[in-house]
Amino acid sequence: MILRAATQTDKPAIIELLKLSLGESVIPITEKFWLWKHEQNAFGPSFVLLAQENDEIIGVRAFMQWHWLWNGKMYKAIRAVDTATHPSHQGKGIFKKLTLQQVEKCKQQGIHFVFNTPNEQSMPGYLKMGWEKQGRMPLKLKFTRPISLGYSKFFDKEKYAESVNEDLSPGQQWDGNIIGLFNSYNQPATDFIRTSITGEYISWRYAENPLYRYNYFTDGKNYVLVSRIKNHSFTRELRIVDFILLNEQAKNRSVNSHMKKEVLDFAKKYKIDFISFSGQQYLFNKSYFQWMGIIPVRTLGPLVTVRDLNMQEQFAGLLDIKNWNYSLGDMELF
């Protein structure tokens, strides 16, 4: 068995291996989706390592690039995402070999750290390979139809499930002027860790996303709020995946009032049962989100893990959740 970097000609074989190993559920496994996710990424193409035996690809490991800002400095990170092992070759430690070699290669290329949100099955393996728990992601929730939700959920489940499954997702087109706002966006040198926001990033991550339909709220000068509708068995969620304050001098009362009307009118129109928002973004921007109500921030989200590559003494700061201002969009699976 040899381990080697993937090339363009390997793409069809990689897709077939992912389908064979993982199957397809919510997230499609297609060359088009792979192209968007791993080759068109605004932060750069992914690092993809393959395991090959007798001219057959039997394992794949992909690390997606990400850029974070912290105290005016940009840190290059990788997000551990897609991985697969051929069913006939499981139990040979291929996942571990690919992951550790990929980590070492990225370290040599100056990548600062790795982050991801592993599930319960993969968590023990990551911890054995040097990952550390940063903490469970805090969430801020607002229930918009508590009475209707309670009645429908417990007394008329079938009818409520049908209404939830209605395709009410708006097909909003992203205005080029909105993307343009970020081309002149001056990213503040904050003392917390946040994704590096550019027009190219917003366009790639949200406007051109082939998996989910994202919509936005904005007053055209002070803020942009990005969200998507997510249907559950008996509820419809409005997930606020990102908040970007374009004007640091914006009056919080004015922004708060504008967002409240825009978001709650939208929630009423599309029968939203509850709104979710990153607890970290909420805590860092409380004065703009008074309309989110009094329900306290709770650690209900996925568990975030990190691994040091070239952070050295600064790595301790990554383990303190108080230093992070990540959005739901930063940690969302896609």
188 Cβ contact partners less than 8 Å away, ≥ 6 residues apart = 248
Residue 326 lies in a domain: no
Higher pLDDT, 136 or 154: 136
User: What does the alpha-carbon distance between residue 119 and residue 121 come to, in Å, rounded to a whole number?
Assistant: 6
Burial of residue 239 (CB within 10 Å: 0-12, 13-18, 19+) is buried
Q: Please indicate, yes or no, whether residues 57 and 145 belong to a single structural domain of this protein.
A: no
Residue 325 lies in a domain: no
Q: Which amino acid is at 178?
A: I
Q: Please indicate, yes or no, whether residues 20 and 146 belong to a single structural domain of this protein.
A: no
| CA 274 to chain centroid | 19
- Predicted confidence band of residue 22 (pLDDT cuts 50, 70, 90): confident
Residue with tokens 């499954």: 165
Q: Please indicate, yes or no, whether residues 246 and 120 belong to a single structural domain of this protein.
A: no
Q: Are 59 and 98 in contact (CB under 8 A)?
A: yes
Q: What are phi and psi of 17, to 5 degrees?
A: -65, -40
Residue 310 lies in a domain: no
Which pLDDT belongs to residue 152?
54
Q: Which two tokens stand for residue 47?
A: 């690092």
Q: Please indicate, yes or no, whether residues 35 and 146 belong to a single structural domain of this protein.
A: no
Residue 230 lies in a domain: yes
Which pLDDT belongs to residue 35?
96
Which of residues 98, 132, 166 is at a domain's end? 132
Supply the CATH number for residue 292's domain. 3.40.630
Instruction: Give the domain range for residue 100.
Output: 2-132
Q: What are phi and psi of 265, to 5 degrees?
A: -65, -40
Cα atoms found within 13 Å of the Cα of residue 174, Cβ hemisphere only: 22
Count the residues in the chain: 334
- Predicted confidence band of residue 172 (pLDDT cuts 50, 70, 90): confident
Q: Is the pLDDT of residue 115 over 90?
A: yes
Q: Please indicate, yes or no, whether residues 143 and 127 belong to a single structural domain of this protein.
A: no
Q: Please indicate, yes or no, whether residues 123 and 36 belong to a single structural domain of this protein.
A: yes
Q: Are 331 and 134 in contact (CB under 8 A)?
A: no
User: What does the alpha-carbon distance between residue 16 and residue 97 come to, in Å, rounded to a whole number?
Assistant: 21
191 Cβ contact partners less than 8 Å away, ≥ 6 residues apart = 70, 71, 323
Q: Please indicate, yes or no, whether residues 127 and 144 belong to a single structural domain of this protein.
A: no
Q: In 10 A of CB 28, how many CB atoms?
A: 12
Q: In 10 A of CB 287, how many CB atoms?
A: 10
Which pLDDT belongs to residue 27?
74
Q: Please indicate, yes or no, whether residues 121 and 197 belong to a single structural domain of this protein.
A: no
Give the mean pLDDT of the chain: 91
pTM of the predicted protein model: 0.91
Q: Is the pLDDT of residue 147 over 90?
A: no
Which pLDDT belongs to residue 166?
60
Which pLDDT belongs to residue 234?
84
Which pLDDT belongs to residue 259?
97
Q: Is the pLDDT of residue 312 over 60?
A: yes
| CA 86 to chain centroid | 27
Supply the CATH number for residue 40's domain. 3.40.630.30
Q: Is the pLDDT of residue 46 over 60?
A: yes
Q: Which two tokens stand for residue 220?
A: 């055209």
Q: What is the mean pLDDT of residues 100-106?
A: 97
Q: Are 215 and 228 in contact (CB under 8 A)?
A: yes
Q: What is the mean pLDDT of residues 80-97?
A: 94
Residue 197 lies in a domain: yes
- Predicted confidence band of residue 278 (pLDDT cuts 50, 70, 90): very high
Burial of residue 261 (CB within 10 Å: 0-12, 13-18, 19+) is exposed
Q: Please indicate, yes or no, whether residues 84 and 201 belong to a single structural domain of this protein.
A: no
Select from 77, 64, 73 the least CA-distant residue to 107: 77
Which of residues 84, 109, 132 is at a domain's end? 132
Q: What are phi and psi of 76, to 5 degrees?
A: -85, 125
Residue 313 lies in a domain: no
Question: How many folded domains does the chain comprise?
Answer: 2
Burial of residue 59 (CB within 10 Å: 0-12, 13-18, 19+) is buried
Which pLDDT belongs to residue 150?
58
Which pLDDT belongs to residue 159?
56
- Predicted confidence band of residue 146 (pLDDT cuts 50, 70, 90): confident
Residue 152 lies in a domain: yes
Q: Residue 293: left if φ>0, alpha if ψ -120 to 50, beta else—which one?
A: left
- Predicted confidence band of residue 132 (pLDDT cuts 50, 70, 90): very high
Q: Please indicate, yes or no, whether residues 121 and 238 belong to a single structural domain of this protein.
A: no
**What are the C-alpha distances in Å from 262 to residues 39, 91, 218, 283, 305?**
35, 52, 8, 21, 35
Q: Please indicate, yes or no, whether residues 163 and 276 belong to a single structural domain of this protein.
A: yes
Q: Are 115 and 306 in contact (CB under 8 A)?
A: yes
**What are the C-alpha distances in Å from 29 to residues 33, 116, 205?**
7, 20, 18
Query: Residues 202-258: pLDDT tens digits?
Result: 999 999 999 999 999 999 999 999 999 999 988 999 999 999 999 988 899 999 999
Which of residues 96, 113, 132 is at a domain's end? 132
Q: Please indicate, yes or no, whether residues 172 and 284 belong to a single structural domain of this protein.
A: yes
Residue 277 lies in a domain: yes
Q: Is the pLDDT of residue 307 over 90?
A: yes
